[in-house]
Structure 1
Amino acid sequence: MTEQPYQDQNPYQQGYDPQWQQAYDDQYAQQYTQQWQGQTWETQVQPVQPPVSYQPQQEQPQAQPYGYPHHQHQQAQPQPQSYVQAPEEVRHTDTPAPDAAPAYGPATVAGNSRITDAQRARLEGRSPIIEPGMQPAALTALLGLLLSGAAAVGSYALLVPLVALQAVTAAGWFRLNGMWPARQGIALAFLGAVVADVVLLVAGRGHGPAAILGTLGVWVLLSLVLQLRSHADPDERMYGLMATVASAALAIVAAGYLAADADAVTVGAAAVAVAVLARALPLPTPASVVVSLLAAAGAGIAVGGMTDFGTKGAVLGAAAAACALIGHRVASYDYPSRFVHFTAGVALPLSAAAPVVWVLGRALG
């Protein structure tokens, strides 16, 4: 005979005697209490896995308001609370003061803007200037010596290192302004430099100013027309126009080496090579600048003695070195990358010195 459930043995449903009913209830209550205490003891103390019949008791956090103290439920609150407040702590500790730069902050999950290395350096009181160093200076010196030697050979020999200089100038200026890749702008600026070179070779050195300024004017107009056809935002179009015009201007002005006297190119390019190497020496900035100018003047005298310039080469060499140091300083601005150092850092000193070499070469020669 199978055992029936407790509800089938209920004395109220079966009509049993009240005295027997009371005794039966007391006995069953004592038995149920002992079983409940036994289950609780085994669940809390013994490290064994509870039987299958006890699995519903694993969801105790939901039943805690009814059978457990409330402080056990509150102990689980700090961990998610600290996780939610973590972005607020990061934002308060890393975001600069409102009077310093309220528009920038660290890149966090809270949605703050990413701050650049140069901006962080300024906020921390550090200089955002990183000079190219000795390796780019050595490349500049090599390119300058090639220009100096090729100028003594002839215009067509000078054209080879000059085209390389103009290409690196166009690419380096766009990268220095954070615009990369900018294939159309670089190609446009380099094409303007090549056109200026061709016009100079055809027209001759006597028509150098007209060839350079005419090409530059046409390319400014062409850059303006191309930017007006762009579908970018107005601010982006203006920024792209300025970068394209400046890059084309620097690359075209570098053609001044073709327009200048050959002896002036020989002296000026050699002086720039020496000046950039001296500037890369591990010296304080003021002392490095002075040493660089003096070294360039000495190189101008030495190389000028091999040409018709003589001692006047010191003036040409010092002036060319001064312009080269300006280009070197521009290539060091705003935490430039290694690619900037090996493009703009190499080309800008020589490109910036080209107008002075042409002007002083005509004046002193």
Structure 2
Amino acid sequence: MSSDQQYPYPYGQQQPPQQQPYQGEYPDQYGQQQQQQPYQDAAAQTWQGETWDTQYQPAASANANPYPPSAQAVYEPALPVIPPPADPAAVPDGYSAPTTSGNARLTAAQRARAEGRSPIIAPGMQPAGLTAALSLLLAGGAAIGPYALLVPLVLLQAVTAAGWFRLNGMWPARQGIALAFAGGLAADAVLLAVGRENAPAAIVGTLGVWVLLILVLQLRSRAGADERMSGLMATVASAALAILATGHLAAESDAVVVGAIAVAVAVVARALPLPGVVSVVLALLAAAGAGIAAGGLNDIGASGALLGAAAGGCALIGLRAASYDYPSRFVHMTAGVALPLTAAAPVVYLIGRALV
């Protein structure tokens, strides 16, 4: 095909209007009309003041800029609107049941202080009654024999393990509670196997093995560093208390009887609605008197006053620990019941061996 047949019109000559759908004003280098693409020109232009900043400035005509300047504006997508923070008064206070999730929040003691209340709340008369009942079971079991004493002792160790975890704000913590309780059972079994004469080695040895076991298990945990540290400390302390309660099984039976009765009297006297100092003094005097009375029934005699007062003082320490950090009713019914007896176990063992 010749150039005339390929290009029927001379160079630079425009085609008839009926054969050209769009007629621009600027021919290209090949003689063909460059069809303007308004949407492409609009995308290449930006508005600056009163003029258009483009690569070329076409002559003003009716077809040069078919879109108004408002259509030439660069489109910017709307950013997502971030809602303002909620009203602090409407935000939940976050004082649900504590867990091991590691979420940072105020402690119950801080809330109590912010509300003008004391973070120290004594368990009250009902937990004291349960402690007295458990103390009498311990005294009766000790009077019968070591295996009879083992039944209330196992109950004491279970309540101690559960109450300590809840007192530290870690709940649910079934694995930690089970591990601490298992430590107490292991100490009981070892003590029964080696006898009372080897009680210190049995208790300390079991505690050492259990601390090592807890460390190994915590190293395998996938929790955060802070949560692992909290879990480690709570588990070690709970296991130590559960194993420490084995001291009742290691002590002389007469000393267990005197110490358990003194604890029962002390916690009941402390729960009476009396001023703080008066209540403490009354509880110690009552424990000493109960020690004298219970010592008169066995070989301890009047020396039971010392054992009773010491056991009563340890019981008050246990009550104080169970009263701290604005505890819940569950803490009162577990730690508030068990800690007085658990804290008195070392005193019952040591003073009992010295007196009997």
Alignment TM-score, normalising by the size of structure 1: 0.70
Alignment pair present for 1:315 and 2:306: yes
Deviations 1:335-364 (A, max 9, x none): 111111100000000000000000000112
* Higher percent of residues as helix: 1
> What's the counterpart of residue 259 of structure 1?
250
What residue ranges of structure 1 are gaps of 5+ in the alignment? Answer: 1-83, 95-104, 108-112
The answer (yes or no) to whether the contact 2:255–2:352 under 8 Å persists in 1 is yes
Alignment pair present for 1:144 and 2:135: yes
Q: 1:157 aligns with which of 126, 129, 148?
A: 148
The amino acid that maps onto 1:283 is L
Q: For the residues of structure 2 that align with 1:232 and 1:106, how far apart are their CA atoms?
A: 25
Q: What is the identity percentage for the equivalent residue pairs of Structure 1 and Structure 2?
A: 74
Alignment pair present for 1:232 and 2:220: no
Q: 1:339 aligns with which of 325, 330, 343?
A: 330
Alignment pair present for 1:168 and 2:197: no
> What's the counterpart of residue 305 of structure 1?
296
Deviations 1:23-66 (A, max 9, x none): xxxxxxxxxxxxxxxxxxxxxxxxxxxxxxxxxxxxxxxxxxxx
Deviations 1:256-296 (A, max 9, x none): 01110000000001100000000100011111100000000
Please state whether the residue corresponding to 1:207 is helix, strand or coil: helix
> Measured at CA, do residues 86 and 343 of structure 1 come closer, stay the same or move farther in structure 2, by a change above 3 Å?
closer
Q: 2:125 aligns with which of 130, 134, 137?
A: 134
1:85 is displaced (CA, Å) by 10
1:121 is displaced (CA, Å) by 2.0
> What's the counterpart of residue 3 of structure 1?
none
Q: For the residues of structure 1 that align with 2:165 and 2:244, how far apart are their CA atoms?
A: 16
The answer (yes or no) to whether the contact 2:120–2:324 under 8 Å persists in 1 is yes
1:115 is displaced (CA, Å) by 4.3
Aligned ranges 1:284-295 → 2 under 5 Å: 284-295=275-286
> What's the counterpart of residue 55 of structure 2?
none
Q: 2:266 aligns with which of 275, 278, 287?
A: 275
The amino acid that maps onto 2:180 is A
> Measured at CA, do residues 116 and 298 of structure 1 come closer, stay the same or move farther in structure 2, by a change above 3 Å?
same
1:87 is displaced (CA, Å) by 2.5
1:86 is displaced (CA, Å) by 8.2
What residue ranges of structure 2 are gaps of 5+ in the alignment? Answer: 1-83, 95-103
The answer (yes or no) to whether the contact 2:108–2:327 under 8 Å persists in 1 is no
> Measured at CA, do residues 85 and 337 of structure 1 come closer, stay the same or move farther in structure 2, by a change above 3 Å?
closer
Aligned ranges 1:1-365 → 2 under 5 Å: 87=87, 90=89, 115-365=106-356
> Measured at CA, do residues 85 and 224 of structure 1 come closer, stay the same or move farther in structure 2, by a change above 3 Å?
closer
Q: State the superposition RMSD in angstroms.
A: 2.0
Q: For the residues of structure 2 that align with 1:86 and 1:173, how far apart are their CA atoms?
A: 36
Q: For the residues of structure 2 that align with 1:86 and 1:239, how far apart are their CA atoms?
A: 31
Please state whether the residue corresponding to 1:331 is helix, strand or coil: helix
Alignment TM-score, normalising by the size of structure 2: 0.71
The amino acid that maps onto 2:154 is V
Q: For the residues of structure 1 that align with 2:157 and 2:180, how far apart are their CA atoms?
A: 9
Q: For the residues of structure 2 that align with 1:218 and 1:276, how far apart are their CA atoms?
A: 33
Please state whether the residue corresponding to 1:343 is helix, strand or coil: helix
The answer (yes or no) to whether the contact 2:319–2:340 under 8 Å persists in 1 is yes
> Measured at CA, do residues 117 and 191 of structure 1 come closer, stay the same or move farther in structure 2, by a change above 3 Å?
closer
Deviations 1:73-112 (A, max 9, x none): xxxxxxxxxxx89827x59xx9xxxxxxxxxx957xxxxx
The amino acid that maps onto 1:87 is D
Once the two structures are overlaid, the 10-residue window that deviates more, 118-127 or 223-232, is 118-127
> Measured at CA, do residues 106 and 173 of structure 1 come closer, stay the same or move farther in structure 2, by a change above 3 Å?
closer
> What's the counterpart of residue 21 of structure 2?
none
Q: For the residues of structure 1 that align with 2:276 and 2:201, how far apart are their CA atoms?
A: 38
> Measured at CA, do residues 114 and 219 of structure 1 come closer, stay the same or move farther in structure 2, by a change above 3 Å?
closer
1:127 is displaced (CA, Å) by 1.4
Q: For the residues of structure 1 that align with 2:107 and 2:178, how far apart are their CA atoms?
A: 28
1:157 is displaced (CA, Å) by 0.4
